[in-house]
Structure 1
Amino acid sequence: MKKKVILAYSGGAASSAAIPWLREHHNAEVVAVIVDLGQREPLDSVRQRAIASGAARAHVLDWRETYVRNFVLPVVQSGAVTPEQSDLPESLGRPLEAKALVEIAAIEGANAVAHAARTKTDGARIASAVTALNPDLEVIATAQEWDLKPSDLTDFAKSRGIPEVSGGLPSASRSAGPPAPAYVALDFRAGVPVRVNGVEMDLVELATSLDTICDPHGVAGTVALGMAHDALQQEVLPADLASVMPEMRRKYAGLIRSGKWFSASREAIDAMMAKLQANVNGSARVKIQDGVCEVVSRVN
């Protein structure tokens, strides 16, 4: 009897190859889950690619609001997004993907979930989050099972008739950004960003606009948001709390990197930081250029 496996599907080469791999090596019916966190590729085409690669079904979840409000915003308010932790946003989507896997597994009546994360560290983040939500689910790491070189993965995909895709492998370099820096003014009300360069937006629109401005300069929008918020928050932190903030930031970042988003420790830090947000009001202006973001002015 075939087992049903819920696969976190991105549309890239590795997750596309994971579908026939699971069918062949686990005798599985594969159901793909595509989580919309604000990707720019039309997700209907990603869904079609999953079906063409052999998935029985593909669920597309529009979780942009959930991602920005319940994941990005708490991280920004925690102060964990610093120049030293500028790559932290890259890990932030994993707990939400894990949540999607667990929820769709319950809907589909599946006992196993899978992902195609290329590194053991990234895969461990997903597995840890899945286990925190449902310890009874089996977690299959296809990229760790097959141990294929990029050329072998391409050959495997071609031999199974998988549509050619891009984005499955990391790029070797990044092209140079615009010669002139970008300046962005971010306004906050009770710790929540409300305006970009004077234009009021809801959270999803704001995050999308910020990424559009920051991406060409090699900076994640979440980093710009975090640094602007921190510049204002530092002005209103009680002195006794300010002294322990550096350690708390490191702890919070460590929880995210180790896949412990769904933990009492993370929730406790969020609860404490939420108490401070009423006083985080004002505007901070950041300069973004060549992968560097710095605060150049602030008005509380």
Structure 2
Amino acid sequence: MSDVKQNVKKVVLAYSGGLDTSAIVPWLKDNYDCEVIAFVADVGQGAEDLAGVEEKAIKSGASSCYIVDLREQFVKEVIYPTLKAGAVYEGQYLLGTSMARPIIARAQVELALKLGADALCHGCTGKGNDQVRFEGAFAALAPQLKIIAPWREWEFNSRQSLLNYLAEKNVPTTATATKIYSRDANLFHISHEGGELENPWNEPSDQVWMWTKSPEQAPDKAEYLQLSFEKGELTAINGNAVGAIEAIEQLNAIGSEHGVGRIDIVENRLVGMKSRGCYETPGGTIIVAGLRALESLVYDRTSLKYREEVGLEVAQLVYDGRWFTPLKDALFAASNSLAEQLTGDIVVKLYKGQVTVAKRRSPNSLYSEAFATFDGDEVYNQKDAAGFIRLYSLASRIRALHAKG
């Protein structure tokens, strides 16, 4: 046994109860001869996923299992700030999986430090983005703790080999050799990979989608929602005050009924390869539509341009797992400052998978019907535009004269 393995006495494992982490528990005990503590993060994946998870962890060999409710932190500390920043990865992805990782990793580190653990363990594969996100957070928060990534160490290379190992160890599991899709769910979204999606020429079948109706199955009658925002955060739906978790859950339910929030993309992973994924983010899609509409009212042109630049940087940062960095603090300071103006009401129309803005108002609105009208007004003399245009195009004029001379 290596010195590293000998020095590990207690490890905290990010545990889901799925096939991979069920196998990791006995594998750690076999290969590191250490105590294994299961850590389960409740980020809103649903009661079905959490049912029986503690018993399952203990039966697989964990000494204890801690289930930590992170939903409120997830919304307030990650989802809302990221949405206010306007972060969208590669033009479409609202970062549902990426956003959950820092809050999970931080809670895992906190538990490990509290219990005096020597190491942290995750079940991320060596091909994905999540290994970088978790280990980047671990490095920033507790660099003294060792990191164990079984997928980069063990000899297993298939679901069947993991199932054989669990059978050998007498660890019960409901997993089977055939797993069509790889899914990740939380309060904000659900993702789907694998199966027919591995061929980008295949259209996703109906069995891919789990939350949202298809536009064809959605109601034939549109539904209108009034969204009330204060400083960029949703505070009421149709005039009824909502808490952070409740807001996302309500909009997920309503948006799913109307087929809102589906995307099918081929994205660039951080590790260099492309992957194809289908994502369902109904509530997030509705909130983003509301925020963009509110921005159109209250941000001047240069402020909006800067917010868009910040949004691109934040999207890259969140996707790449650089949450616990000074850059994140600086970018969010900028976006939160701008979002101080994002107060108002937006009415959106949901119909057949689409979200369109029907009405908008804000006490901070820069829009004035008196200024925008084609009729006469007292603040804008159209003759003034001639001088403005002459100065605005001065460089082009000089260039043209220089070319002629």
Q: What's the TM-score, normalizing by structure 1? A: 0.89
Partner residue of 1:56 out of 50, 53, 63: 63
Match in the other structure for 2:365: none
Letter in 1 for 2:26: P
Match in the other structure for 1:224: 286
Match in the other structure for 1:98: 105
How far 1:35 sits from its partner (Å)?
Answer: 1.3
Match in the other structure for 1:174: 208
Indicate whether 1:142 and 2:150 are aligned: yes
The gaps in structure 2 that reach 5 residues or longer are 1-5, 183-191, 196-206, 263-279, 362-405
The separation in 2 between residues aligned to 1:255 and 1:129, in whole angstroms, is 12
Determine helix, strand or coil for the equivalent of 2:52.
helix
How far 1:284 sits from its partner (Å)?
Answer: 3.0
The separation in 1 between residues aligned to 2:167 and 2:346, in whole angstroms, is 50
Provide Cα deviations, 1:153-193, integer angstroms capped at 9, x if missing partner: 22222332333245985163514824126744422122110
Preserved contact between residue 71 and residue 92 of structure 1 (Cα < 8 Å): yes
Letter in 2 for 1:122: D
Letter in 1 for 2:23: A
Partner residue of 1:204 out of 239, 242, 245: 245
Describe the shift of the 1:284–1:48 C-alpha distance in structure 2 as closer, same or farther (beyond 3 A).
Answer: farther
Match in the other structure for 2:40: 34
How far 1:109 sits from its partner (Å)?
Answer: 0.6
Letter in 1 for 2:159: P
How far 1:247 sits from its partner (Å)?
Answer: 2.7
How far 1:33 sits from its partner (Å)?
Answer: 0.8
How far 1:288 sits from its partner (Å)?
Answer: 5.7
How far 1:287 sits from its partner (Å)?
Answer: 5.4
Preserved contact between residue 72 and residue 92 of structure 1 (Cα < 8 Å): yes
Partner residue of 1:113 out of 110, 114, 120: 120
Preserved contact between residue 293 and residue 357 of structure 2 (Cα < 8 Å): no
The gaps in structure 1 that reach 5 residues or longer are none
Describe the shift of the 1:124–1:64 C-alpha distance in structure 2 as closer, same or farther (beyond 3 A).
Answer: same
Partner residue of 2:316 out of 225, 231, 254: 254
Letter in 2 for 1:211: N
Determine helix, strand or coil for the equivalent of 2:234.
strand
The separation in 2 between residues aligned to 1:215 and 1:114, in whole angstroms, is 35
Moved more, 30-39 or 226-235: 226-235
Provide Cα deviations, 1:22-71, integer angstroms capped at 9, x if missing partner: 11122221101111111212535222221122111111111211111111
Describe the shift of the 1:113–1:284 C-alpha distance in structure 2 as closer, same or farther (beyond 3 A).
Answer: same
Match in the other structure for 1:238: 300
Identity %: 30
Describe the shift of the 1:299–1:272 C-alpha distance in structure 2 as closer, same or farther (beyond 3 A).
Answer: same
Letter in 2 for 1:160: K
Moved more, 62-71 or 281-290: 281-290
Preserved contact between residue 81 and residue 227 of structure 1 (Cα < 8 Å): no
Describe the shift of the 1:228–1:30 C-alpha distance in structure 2 as closer, same or farther (beyond 3 A).
Answer: same
Letter in 1 for 2:234: P
Indicate whether 1:213 and 2:254 are aligned: yes
The separation in 2 between residues aligned to 1:232 and 1:166, in whole angstroms, is 46
The separation in 2 between residues aligned to 1:196 and 1:83, in whole angstroms, is 29
Partner residue of 1:45 out of 27, 47, 52: 52
Map 1:13-28 to 2 at 5 A.
13-28=19-34
The separation in 2 between residues aligned to 1:273 and 1:17, in whole angstroms, is 42
Letter in 2 for 1:174: V
Match in the other structure for 2:13: 7
Indicate whether 1:295 and 2:336 are aligned: no
Indicate whether 1:195 and 2:236 are aligned: yes
How far 1:115 sits from its partner (Å)?
Answer: 0.6
Describe the shift of the 1:286–1:12 C-alpha distance in structure 2 as closer, same or farther (beyond 3 A).
Answer: farther
Preserved contact between residue 188 and residue 283 of structure 1 (Cα < 8 Å): yes
Indicate whether 1:79 and 2:120 are aligned: no
Moved more, 199-208 or 230-239: 230-239
The separation in 2 between residues aligned to 1:293 and 1:90, in whole angstroms, is 23
The separation in 1 between residues aligned to 2:139 and 2:256, in whole angstroms, is 33
Partner residue of 1:133 out of 133, 141, 148: 141
Preserved contact between residue 82 and residue 227 of structure 1 (Cα < 8 Å): no
Report 1 or 2 for greater relative contact order, CA contacts < 8 Å, sequence distance ≥ 6.
1
Describe the shift of the 1:256–1:236 C-alpha distance in structure 2 as closer, same or farther (beyond 3 A).
Answer: same
Matched length: 299
Preserved contact between residue 85 and residue 335 of structure 2 (Cα < 8 Å): yes
Provide Cα deviations, 1:59-100, integer angstroms capped at 9, x if missing partner: 111121111111111001111147824251111111111101
Preserved contact between residue 310 and residue 335 of structure 2 (Cα < 8 Å): no
> Looking at CA atoms only, which structure, 1 or 2, has the larger radius of gyration?
2
Preserved contact between residue 282 and residue 298 of structure 1 (Cα < 8 Å): no
